[in-house]
């Protein structure tokens, strides 16, 4: 469903992403792990077409995000980190607005909105304005707009960051419920996220993939059998050097 091919992004003298390639198929949840500044969000933005790559590309359902952006984006649901919302709108009003932008009309438009509200457990707050919602509910509204058009690929950047344990549990349940019918890509620095929902993971450091495999395979890379130890060994050197030069 998704194939990232040799993605590279350069900002002046800074090479933020260096030759990243991977695949995600329907039914898979791939976690993209890495410390802050590793290149995770930049990679996500290139895959979704929000940022043009310096080199390389991504194929979504066989459509090149650089050469066929409209066809590719129709297949993507994107939940960016700190997704923007219109705080003065009600939940149902915002989702109806999104459905209209997506080109849905009439009964189909209403059906899409109702389906998104139900899937993301928003019934109880459907008439509330977004500004009155908790962070967890706001995140669910963002989730709803990402899945409203039933995309084949769901891309999420830090989907549970800042949520309390109960809200994290609900969002993870929603992700798992959709996994059978979609390819899902999750960027996170929260290690428990990978163990909780992901079927595979890659670790990015300094813009490169430094490890890949299932959570079980990842943990087997360290005698402790702990993912946090694997992560630390693969990424700590750079973090310590950065701290030392501040």
User: Do 128 and 196 fall into the same domain?
Assistant: no
Which pair of tokens denotes residue 136?
């967890």
Whose CA is closest to 17, among 28, 4, 30?
4
User: Do 234 and 114 fall into the same domain?
Assistant: no
User: Do 142 and 38 fall into the same domain?
Assistant: no
User: Do 137 and 178 fall into the same domain?
Assistant: no
pLDDT at 47: 95
Domain containing 124 equals 84-150
User: Do 128 and 167 fall into the same domain?
Assistant: no
Cross-strand bridge partners of residue 212: 202
pLDDT at 2: 95
First to last CA, the chain: 42
- Residue 190 forms part of a structural domain: yes
pLDDT at 237: 60
The total number of structural domains in the chain stands at 2
Q: What is the pTM of this model?
A: 0.88
- Residue 167 forms part of a structural domain: yes
- Residue 62 forms part of a structural domain: yes
User: Do 160 and 236 fall into the same domain?
Assistant: yes
User: Do 181 and 161 fall into the same domain?
Assistant: yes
DSSP state of 181: G
Residues in the chain: 246
pLDDT at 158: 86
- Choosing from 117, 150, 183, the residue where a domain stops is 150
- Using 70 as the pLDDT threshold, list the residues of the chain that sit under it: 237-246
Q: Which secondary-structure segment (H or E) carries 60? A: strand 55-60
User: Do 135 and 240 fall into the same domain?
Assistant: no
- Choosing from 127, 150, 173, the residue where a domain stops is 150
User: Do 125 and 164 fall into the same domain?
Assistant: no
- Choosing from 150, 177, 199, the residue where a domain stops is 150
- Residue 11 forms part of a structural domain: no
pLDDT at 80: 86
Helix and strand numbers (H, E) in the chain are 9, 10
Whose CA is closest to 185, among 197, 196, 177?
197
- Residue 37 forms part of a structural domain: yes
- Residue 15 forms part of a structural domain: no
Q: Which secondary-structure segment (H or E) carries 115? A: helix 106-119
């Amino acid at each position: 469903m998704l194939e990232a091919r040799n993605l590279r992004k350069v900002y002046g003298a800074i090479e933020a992403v260096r030759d990243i390639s991977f695949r995600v198929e329907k039914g898979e949840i791939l976690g993209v792990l890495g410390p802050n500044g590793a290149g995770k969000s930049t990679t996500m933005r290139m895959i979704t077409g929000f940022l043009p790559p310096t080199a390389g590309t991504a194929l979504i359902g066989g459509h090149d995000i650089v050469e066929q952006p409209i066809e590719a984006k129709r297949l993507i649901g994107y939940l960016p980190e700190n997704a923007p919302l219109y705080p003065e709108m009600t939940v149902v009003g915002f989702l109806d607005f999104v459905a209209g932008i997506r080109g849905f009309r009439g009964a189909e438009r209403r059906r899409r909105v109702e389906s998104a509200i139900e899937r993301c457990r928003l019934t109880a707050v459907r008439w509330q304005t977004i500004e009155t919602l908790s962070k967890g509910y706001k995140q669910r509204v963002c989730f709803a707009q990402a899945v409203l058009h039933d995309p084949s690929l769901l891309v999420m950047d830090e989907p549970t960051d800042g949520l309390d344990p109960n809200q994290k549990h609900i969002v993870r349940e929603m992700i798992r419920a959709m996994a059978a019918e979609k390819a899902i890509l999750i960027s996170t620095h929260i290690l428990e996220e990978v163990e909780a929902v992901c079927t595979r993971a890659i670790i990015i450091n300094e813009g490169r993939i430094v490890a890949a495999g299932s959570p079980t395979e990842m943990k087997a890379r360290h005698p402790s059998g702990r993912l946090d130890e694997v992560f630390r060994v693969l990424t700590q050197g750079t973090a310590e050097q950065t701290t030392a030069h501040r």
